[in-house]
Amino acid sequence: MKLATGLWVWGSLLVAAGTVQPSASQSVCAGTENKLSSLSDLEQQYRALRKYYENCEVVMGNLEITSIEHNRDLSFLRSIREVTGYVLVALNQFRYLPLENLRIIRGTKLYEDRYALAIFLNYRKDGNFGLQELGLKNLTEILNGGVYVDQNKFLCYTDTIHWQDIVRNPWPSNLTLVSTNGSSGCGRCHKSCTGRCWGPTENHCQTLTRTVCAEQCDGRCYGPYVSDCCHRECAGGCSGPKDTDCFACMNFNDSGACVTQCPQTFVYNPTTFQLEHNFNAKYTYGAFCVKKCPHNFVVDSSSCVRACPSSKMEVEENGIKMCKPCTDICPKACDGIGTGSLMSAQTVDSSNIDKFVNCTKINGNLIFLVTGIHGDPYNAIEAIDPEKLNVFRTVREITGFLNIQSWPPNMTDFSVFSNLVTIGGRVLYRYVYVFKAAGLPDFRSSTMLIRDNRKAENCTAEGMVCNHLCSKDGCWGPGPDQCLSCRRFSRGRTCIESCNLYDGEFREFENGSICVECDPQCEKMEDGMLTCHGPGPDNCTKCSHFKDGPNCVEKCPDGLQGANSFIFKYADKDRECHPCHPNCTQGCIGSSIEDCIGLMDRYLVCLLPMFFLRGSTCEHWCMCVHATVNGE
Ligand SMILES: *[C@@H]1O[C@H](CO)[C@@H](O)[C@H](O)[C@H]1NC(C)=O
Ligand SMILES: *[C@@H]1O[C@H](CO)[C@@H](O)[C@H](O)[C@H]1NC(C)=O
Ligand SMILES: *[C@@H]1O[C@H](CO)[C@@H](O)[C@H](O)[C@H]1NC(C)=O
Ligand SMILES: *[C@@H]1O[C@H](CO)[C@@H](O)[C@H](O)[C@H]1NC(C)=O
Ligand SMILES: *[C@@H]1O[C@H](CO)[C@@H](O)[C@H](O)[C@H]1NC(C)=O
Ligand SMILES: *[C@@H]1O[C@H](CO)[C@@H](O)[C@H](O)[C@H]1NC(C)=O
Ligand SMILES: *[C@@H]1O[C@H](CO)[C@@H](O)[C@H](O)[C@H]1NC(C)=O
Ligand SMILES: *[C@@H]1O[C@H](CO)[C@@H](O)[C@H](O)[C@H]1NC(C)=O
Ligand SMILES: *[C@@H]1O[C@H](CO)[C@@H](O)[C@H](O)[C@H]1NC(C)=O
Ligand SMILES: *[C@@H]1O[C@H](CO)[C@@H](O)[C@H](O)[C@H]1NC(C)=O
């Protein structure tokens, strides 16, 4: 374990926290990622801690308690019930850690890539202050990561704790180290605690919820019998067998019930054979299902996130901010030469070309001078690597002008601008294939000048002509992918002679002059038959796997979420899907109730614990109580 000796100056290192009010009735806060660094002013360090966590119940991030003096009031930490990242308690001098209601540490981030709980060096080197007792009475679950407790000179009872009951990971020695290290004056656990406790009194006994369970329990239990197993979605233990009896949720908390997934955005509609929008859908927000993402969060698929991933952009639909995949490349506006961060620049050069990566719109001008292209020794600017000019391939719009006075001699075309559609507010319509060895004139939007170029007939004489698949509109360079528009058909950006209607690896249909690929679920047809008549799985001539209503599908619905239940279907001999009997809960091989496969989603609680059966119907020698998962 690496240890910091001094106190580092915090300042901008400090990751912003503060409470976020979510739409769930939980009070959620963001946590920090400062590791051992702290503010040099310890008064401020304490106040920051208090500000972040006062009234916070769920820390969506790491809980870091470092460099707190011995006389501070930490009772505000009692509100915390869950931490999604890690808990770090280090370099403190207080006596007691009052995280009494902390039930679960999820360990989605780990300290030093290993520890979900790290408690070390909590004493004053030159004095008698230090951590004596952990108040973690309710801590019964660490979902991921290990525990590190070391060099706490005065800490007692930690070595009596049965950590394997708490930590879910198997117990590799490199994930865990717990030593009390030092203190000889520790008392013993109260006699009612059977040797395991967090502190001296009978209120401090460790509650075991895992190592004491019957073998049949998947996870945790509230008693030693088979009938005392917690629901499999519970974390940390439970007070009864239902998904609403959990102390914490393994996956998601949907209004008090622990569930594997939140109600999905789309549910299967058996009448239309399609996934349809679910008006009861919820989004995942940390370990909660919420009807609406909190302020400042956006919806990405079905989760609330702070910002969209780089391949998506934020759009607002029906008042909801969502991340949508960008077609091609995400819009990104950048400063041009003479604007904003490039205010004082004269030309694109090797020092600033990296600023144009992924730009689709240039606010201002693009200027290429000889000092940029070939370098400027007086200002210690190197020549541009011609390869780098390819960054401009993403540019669609330049709000100012494009001025090319110099260009690398061995780059024989301007194809890096082949996506440029608009300059100075004007749509480019017709460009000819320009190529000149020496300097080039300005070409501005208001007075488009294309002159002093090589004569068209000279280019033609040398075979520098547009590809025969290009229309008369011209091209940026050789090749069928550099045309402005196509003479016959196009596939993506490339001009082609014809679509793959009857042959080829993948089959297409024609929409005007555009070749569009058939749905992957369509069976590839031979003998002059079209594979599909349109996009989508309902336009196939024949299905390659199964058919559900009008749609070709990979497999028949097999536990798809419907509006009120899960939908199961079976395939008949013609590979068409038909619904199972509504009482089937696990699929079927035919339409009658006799064809159902199992009743897996029902609890079978045998009255005699010895005859507990799971995933099968009850046999005659034991009486069973049926209860469905949904509590029907
Ligand atoms: C701990 O969990 C129990 C439920 O098992 C709860 O009743 C209690 O209030 C929690 N907090 C403390 C400090 O014991
Ligand atoms: C712990 O040890 C196991 C095998 O002993 C190894 O695979 C794993 O990478 C180690 N983990 C860490 C965090 O060092
Ligand atoms: C205990 O503390 C000493 C220094 O005081 C240290 O060398 C040692 O590694 C610590 N840990 C254990 C498990 O003894
Ligand atoms: C689920 O969330 C509700 C508040 O939305 C809370 O009262 C309840 O304790 C939570 N249940 C679990 C098991 O975490
Ligand atoms: C450019 O876009 C690609 C793909 O979306 C992404 O992986 C990359 O990180 C982006 N680079 C910059 C500098 O934005
Ligand atoms: C152009 O020339 C430079 C060296 O001047 C070389 O590194 C680069 O690979 C050449 N590019 C092409 C497309 O030939
Ligand atoms: C174009 O070709 C003519 C002869 O066909 C020649 O005289 C002239 O120099 C050429 N111009 C360029 C710019 O190459
Ligand atoms: C054909 O293309 C047009 C315009 O691009 C589009 O609106 C239409 O939906 C397409 N039709 C099919 C069947 O893909
Ligand atoms: C594709 O299928 C849809 C739905 O069945 C239908 O409305 C549409 O007309 C079909 N398109 C073509 C080009 O056949
Ligand atoms: C299907 O289940 C319902 C409710 O559990 C029950 O009333 C009905 O008799 C069952 N149908 C058959 C055919 O078993």
pLDDT value, residue 462? 75
Record the tokens describing residue 452, joined without a space.
Answer: 């002093």
pLDDT value, residue 147? 95
Q: Which atom of ligand 4 is nearest to the CA of 81?
A: 14
Q: Each residue of 301-349: pLDDT tens digit?
A: 899 998 898 889 999 988 889 999 988 788 899 999 989 999 999 999 9
Asked if residue 476 lies in contact with residue 431, where contact means CB atoms within 8 angstroms, the answer is yes
Distance CA 215, CA 234 (A): 17
Distance CA 576, CA 553 (A): 10
Distance CA 468, CA 317 (A): 43
| Ligand that lies nearest to the alpha carbon of residue 536, given by its number in the listed order | 9
Ligand 10 site, residue 593, Cβ cutoff 6 A: yes
pLDDT value, residue 437? 30
Which residue from 514, 498, 516 is spatially nearest to 506, judged by alpha carbons? 516
Q: Which atom of ligand 1 is nearest to the CA of 239?
A: 5
Distance CA 257, CA 235 (A): 12
Integer CA distances (angstroms), 179 to 104, 118, 156, 228, 454, in order: 22, 12, 10, 33, 82
Residue with CA closest to ligand 4 atom 6: 256
Please provide residue 593's backbone torsions phi and psi, each rounded to the nearest 5 degrees.
-65, -25
- Termini Cα distance of the chain: 52
Ligand 10 site, residue 583, Cβ cutoff 6 A: yes
Q: What is the 3-state secondary structure (H, E, C) of 84-115?
A: CCCEEEECCCCCEECCCCCCEECCCCCECCCE
Number of Cα atoms under 13 Å in the Cβ half of residue 50:
12
Distance CA 298, CA 188 (A): 52
Integer CA distances (angstroms), 383 to 349, 380, 437, in order: 7, 10, 17
Asked if residue 553 lies in contact with residue 545, where contact means CB atoms within 8 angstroms, the answer is yes
Residue with CA closest to ligand 5 atom 4: 311
Residue with CA closest to ligand 6 atom 14: 410
Asked if residue 493 lies in contact with residue 475, where contact means CB atoms within 8 angstroms, the answer is no
Distance CA 411, CA 433 (A): 13
Cα 34 from chain centre:
23
Residue with CA closest to ligand 9 atom 5: 538
Ligand 9 site, residue 550, Cβ cutoff 6 A: yes
Q: Which helix (H) or strand (E) holds 44?
A: helix 42-53
Integer CA distances (angstroms), 90 to 31, 35, 198, 345, 372, in order: 16, 9, 18, 49, 53
Distance CA 169, CA 161 (A): 16
Ligand 9 site, residue 67, Cβ cutoff 6 A: no
Query: What is the 3-state composition of the chain as percent helix, strand, coil, each rounded to the nearest 5?
Result: 10, 30, 60
Please give all residues whose beta carbon lies within 6 A of any atom in ligand 8, as ranges. 511, 516, 534-535
Mutate to test the pocket of ligand 7, among 458, 459, 464 (most ligand atoms within 8 A of CB): 458
Distance CA 461, CA 83 (A): 73
| Ligand that lies nearest to the alpha carbon of residue 538, given by its number in the listed order | 9
Mutate to test the pocket of ligand 3, among 122, 149, 151 (most ligand atoms within 8 A of CB): 151
Asked if residue 225 lies in contact with residue 609, where contact means CB atoms within 8 angstroms, the answer is yes
Q: Which helix (H) or strand (E) holds 20?
A: strand 19-20
pLDDT value, residue 180? 61
Q: How far is the CA of 129 from the centre of ligand 3 (A)?
A: 18
Please give all residues whose beta carbon lies within 6 A of any atom in ligand 5, as ranges. 310-311, 357-358
Give the strand pairing for 104-105 and 624-628: unpaired
Q: How far is the CA of 175 from the centre of ligand 2 (A)?
A: 8
Q: How far is the CA of 410 from the centre of ligand 6 (A)?
A: 6
Beta strands in 412-477 (DSSP E): 422-423, 426-427, 442-443
What parts of the chain have a pLDDT lower than 70? 1-26, 171-172, 180-184, 425-454, 598-632
Please provide residue 598's backbone torsions phi and psi, each rounded to the nearest 5 degrees.
60, 175
Cα 546 from chain centre:
32
Distance CA 631, CA 582 (A): 17
Residues paired with residue 130 on neighbouring β-strands, in sequence order: 123
Tell me how long the chain is.
632
Asked if residue 562 lies in contact with residue 273, where contact means CB atoms within 8 angstroms, the answer is no
pLDDT value, residue 445? 33
Residue with CA closest to ligand 6 atom 10: 410
Record the tokens describing residue 337, joined without a space.
Answer: 């030469």
Integer CA distances (angstroms), 316 to 256, 299, 305, 324, 360, in order: 30, 10, 14, 10, 20
Query: 3-class SS at 290?
Result: strand
Residues paired with residue 148 on neighbouring β-strands, in sequence order: 118, 177
Distance CA 518, CA 539 (A): 8
Please provide residue 375's backbone torsions phi and psi, each rounded to the nearest 5 degrees.
100, 160
Ligand 1 site, residue 138, Cβ cutoff 6 A: yes
- Residue 87 sits at the vertex; the CA angle it makes with 86 and 93, to the nearest 5 degrees, is 155
Ligand 1 site, residue 137, Cβ cutoff 6 A: yes
Query: 3-class SS at 609?
Result: helix
Which residue from 50, 105, 106 is spatially nearest to 78, judged by alpha carbons? 50
